[in-house]
Amino acid sequence: MVKHAAYFRDTWAEINLDHIFENVKNMKQHIKGGTKLFAVVKANGYGHGDYQVAKTALEAGADYLAVAFLDEAIALREKGIEAPILVLGATRPEDATLAANFNIAVTVFHEEWLKRAVEHFYGEQPLKVHIKCDTGMGRLGIREKDELRHLADQLLAHENFLFEGIYTHFATADELTTTFYEQQLERFKELLSGLDSLPELVHCSNSAASLRFEDAQFNAVRMGISMYGLTPSQEMKDILPFPLKESFSLHTKLVHVKEIKAGDAVSYGATYIAKENEWIGTIPIGYADGWIRKLQGFKVIVDGKLVPIVGRICMDQCMIKLPSKYPIGEKVTLIGENNGMFVSVDDVAEKLETINYEVTCMIGNRVPRVYKKDGKTVFIHNPLHSLIK
Ligand SMILES: Cc1ncc(COP(=O)(O)O)c(C=O)c1O
C-alpha cells in the first residue's frame, strides 16, 4: 500500500503539546485552590489548533473552554469535545436554541438580546448564560448597576435560561502601571454588589491578571496567551511567577539553491541586488501563509545560523541569503529552535511592530500543524485534504 505523507509541501508548524500541558498545569498550581480555569481556544487556538489544544488543556486540568464565536464552539463539539464551552463574543438571539442544544454557554450584554432570544427559544435544555460587564474595555458589556440587576432578574425569571456566570475583561492587566486595572476591578465589584446573589462562575482575569493579581481571580480565570507559552506583554517578562514554555514553531526546507553573481537581482521589483557572488536559497512559504511582505530582511535559521530574507516575499515563496552552498532539503526554521539558535514568536512580533498574539494567529491554514508529545509526532492536521497519514 502506498503510504502518503499528510502534506506535500515541506512547510509546517510544530505544536509542542507538552509545553501547553505544562503551562496549564503551572497556572492551575499558581491560582488559588478551587479556582476554575477556562482554556481560551478561540481563533483556532490562537493559530495552534483548537481541538488539540483544547484536549491537552483539559487533560492538564482546565475546567472549561472559551471561544469567540458560536461556530468555533460547534466546531469543537463536532470534533468530539464534551467539556463546557463559553462563547465570549456576540451570539445572535436567533441562535440561542442552537447553542442550548449543543450545551454551549453564551454571553449576554443587553436586555434586548434576552427579549429576542426568549421569542425564538425552543431548546431542549436551558441555555447557559454569562453576563458580560464593561468596566473600562469599552467593547461588549453592561455598564450600569441598575441595568445589570434588571437583566439578571429577567434571566432568573425565565426557566429556559440559566444564569451561570458573570464576567468582565481587563484592558491593561499586562501593563506595569496598575491604576486602570484597579479602577476596572473596583467597578466590577461595584456592579456585583448590586446583585442579590452571584451566579456559579465569577471571572475577570485574562492571562496577565491571572499571573499577577490574586484579588482578581474570584472563582475562575480565563487563560489564553500564556497557555501557548507566550508572555502577555514584554513588560511582564521579568515578573512572571513561573516560566512560560513557547509551543509554536515554524519550519520549511530549501527547495532550490543557486549561486548568483554580483549585480544579479532577486524577486519582484528586482529590489535586491547581490553585491558579490552569493548563495541564494528558495523556501516554499510566502505571504499567503501569513509570512507577510513586511518580514523582508528578517532572519531565519539554517544550520544554527541566522540568515536574512532577501528581496520581496512572494505569495508562496521567498528567498534567503545562505552563508555557503547548502543541500536541497536542508531544514530552515522561521520560528523556534534550529541547532541551538532560537527565533521566538516575540522576535517576529518585534520586527512586525505588533504583539505575539497576532503572529501565531496569522500563520494560515495552508500550513499544516504537526503535534508533538515527548518529541514524537502524535497528530498532523492539514485542513486542505484528507490524504493521510
Ligand atoms: C474576553 C476574553 N477573555 C480572555 C481572553 C484571554 O486573554 P489572554 O490571551 O490575554 O490570556 C481574551 C482574549 O482576547 C478575551 O477576549
pLDDT tens digits for range 123-135: 889 999 999 999 9
Q: 248-343 domain in CATH 4.10.640.10?
A: no
Report the alpha-carbon distance of residue 255 to residue 181 in Å, rounded: 50
From the candidate CATH numbers 3.40.50.150, 3.20.20.10, 3.20.80.10, 3.30.70.141, the one assigned to the domain spanning 17-230: 3.20.20.10
Report the alpha-carbon distance of residue 66 to residue 57 in Å, rounded: 12
State in Å: Cα 218 to ligand 1 middle: 16
Cβ–ligand 1 distance for 169 under 6 Å, the answer yes
Choosing from 86, 107, 133, 206 the residue with most ligand 1 atoms within 8 A of its CB, the one to mutate for a pocket test is 206
The amino acid that residue 386 corresponds to is S
State in Å: Cα 261 to ligand 1 middle: 50
Alpha helix positions (H), the chain: 17-30, 42-46, 50-59, 70-78, 96-101, 111-120, 145-157, 179-192, 207-212, 345-351, 356-362
Cell of 77: 463539539
pLDDT at position 3, please?
A: 54
Cell of 187: 467597578
Output the CA torsion 100→101→104→109 (10° steps): -20
pLDDT at position 328, please?
A: 98
Choosing from 42, 88, 132, 181 the residue with most ligand 1 atoms within 8 A of its CB, the one to mutate for a pocket test is 88
Report the alpha-carbon distance of residue 309 to residue 13 in Å, rounded: 19
* Peptide bond connecting 389 to the previous residue in cis, omega within 30 degrees of 0: yes
How far is it between the farthest Cα atoms of the chain? 78
Phi, psi angle pair for 165, to nearest 5°: -155, 165
Please say whether the dihedral angle defined by the alpha carbons of residues 277, 282, 283 and 286, taken in this order, is positive or negative.
positive
DSSP string, 214-227: GGG-TTEEEE-GGG
Report the alpha-carbon distance of residue 300 to residue 332 in Å, rounded: 7
Q: Which residues of the chain have pLDDT under 70?
A: 1-5, 388-389
With 0-12 / 13-18 / 19 or more C-beta atoms within 10 angstroms meaning exposed / middle / buried, residue 200 is middle
Q: How many CB atoms lie within 10 A of CB 67?
A: 25
pLDDT at position 4, please?
A: 59
Pairing of strands 248-253, 220-223: unpaired
Cell of 360: 501565531
State in Å: Cα 222 to ligand 1 middle: 7
Report the alpha-carbon distance of residue 25 to residue 29 in Å, rounded: 6
DSSP string, 166-184: EEE--SSTTSS--HHHHHH
Q: Is 21 helix (H, G, I), strand (E, B) or coil?
A: helix
Report the alpha-carbon distance of residue 178 to residue 290 in Å, rounded: 34
Whether 42 is catalytic? yes
Closest approach atom of ligand 1 to CA 357? 9
pLDDT tens digits for range 256-302: 999 999 999 999 999 999 999 999 999 999 999 999 999 999 999 99
pLDDT at position 1, please?
A: 47
Q: Cβ neighbours of residue 92 under 8 Å, at least 6 residues apart?
A: none
pLDDT at position 49, please?
A: 98
Domain coordinates in residue numbering, the chain: 17-230, 248-343
Report the alpha-carbon distance of residue 335 to residue 7 in Å, rounded: 19
Cβ–ligand 1 distance for 206 under 6 Å, the answer yes
pLDDT at position 83, please?
A: 98
